[in-house]
Amino acid sequence: MRVLVTGGSGFIGSHVVDRLLAAGHEPVIYDLRPSPWHVDADPAIPTVIGEITDRAALEAALSEQRIDVVAHLAAVADVNDVHADPETAEIVNSRGTAAVLEAMRRVGVSRVVFASTIWVYSDTEAAVVDEETLLPAPAHLYTSTKLAGELYCRSYQELYGIEYTVLRFGIPYGPRAREAAVVPSFVNRALAGEALVLSGDGSQSRRFVYVEDLAQGVVDGLADVAVNRVYNLVSDEDVTIRQIAELVGEYVGDVEVVVGPARPGDLGSKVVLGARAEAELGWTAQTSFGEGVRRYIDWKRAQTGEPDAELAGV
């Protein structure tokens, strides 16, 4: 299938491009910038430089590139960026998703896989949540914009027959991650010999997911069984922020861990279940957290020319 990957130059999107290629699909990137991770790709990855709110440009990309399905990942994905510029986040995330769906409707592309987030569960009362959990109005604007995207997918299916798959991503980490994310920032600080700062006491747990596993989940989300379904893509491993700091310290060397302020609108310690993705898509997160962090550190060291963990005898 020819798949338009919006946000295909980003952290997760670039891995989606790789996994699509590996699965025999033909990815086409739609992004504000070319992928820094595919500069030397052979053959080159077709890329359309465009703004996600530009419906006319999206329509042109869909028809000129003969697209079968859209994997929609373009977004303001960093909650700190959302906090700093909420209006842009609302335009890009919510209206951008509406523009994608509307361009699809006009051109006649009738299948979308939408990148959502397990942050949609942030405001639920339940300690254990799955795709059937009813969602109260979210506190964080990032979550509101992603939930709006989910709702628009549902509405376009009902009104115009566009088939959707909503994938609620767990917290991704791995090669190409944004520097501000918790694993990269801990690794960078540790490699620089600086203290690791926890948000709150660090006891909040996360279900992280290794980015290549997540990207495989997007490919699996193209299956017919996934039409008009919602899936959590999470691992079944709970990791506290403090454990991450300790793991990074173990791999990189002795580092100091200090307690900082808690983050507003945080997901907290909720257990998000991923059983549906396993049962229906056959998808599970294959990479353990320890293995994933080790691969990330090796990748990071390779980027900066340092010896990897294996060579360093870690």
Asked if 31 touches ligand NAD (CB under 6 A), the answer is: yes
Residue 283: CB atoms within 10 A of its CB come to 24
Which one of 32, 41, 44, 151 is in contact with ligand NAD (CB under 6 A)? 32
> SS3 for 200?
strand
Q: Say which of 142, 156, 164, 251 is annotated catalytic.
A: 142
Cβ atoms of 95 and 89 within 8 Å: the answer is no
Which one of 3, 17, 20, 75 is in contact with ligand NAD (CB under 6 A)? 75
Q: Residue 163, Cα to own-chain centre: how many angstroms?
A: 21
Site string for ligand NAD, 156-175 (x = CB under 6 A): -------------x-xx---
Based on CB atoms, which residue is closest to ligand NAD, 1 or 32? 32
Q: Is there a catalytic annotation at residue 142?
A: yes
Size of the site for ligand NAD (CB under 6 A): 24
Asked if 74 touches ligand NAD (CB under 6 A), the answer is: yes
Cβ atoms of 195 and 257 within 8 Å: the answer is yes
Which helix or strand (DSSP H or E) is residue 114 part of?
strand 111-117
Nearest to 190 by CA among 240, 144, 131, 251: 251
- Beta strand 171-173 with 208-210: parallel, antiparallel or unpaired? parallel
Cβ atoms of 233 and 168 within 8 Å: the answer is yes
Based on CB atoms, which residue is closest to ligand NAD, 98 or 312? 98
Which one of 4, 12, 103, 190 is in contact with ligand NAD (CB under 6 A)? 12
Asked if 33 touches ligand NAD (CB under 6 A), the answer is: yes
Q: Is the dihedral of CA 17, 19, 21, 27 positive or negative?
A: negative
Asked if 292 touches ligand NAD (CB under 6 A), the answer is: no
Q: Which residues are catalytic?
A: 142
Interacting residue ranges for ligand NAD, rule: CB under 6 A: 7, 9-13, 31-33, 51-52, 73-75, 77, 92, 96, 115, 117, 146, 169, 171-172, 178
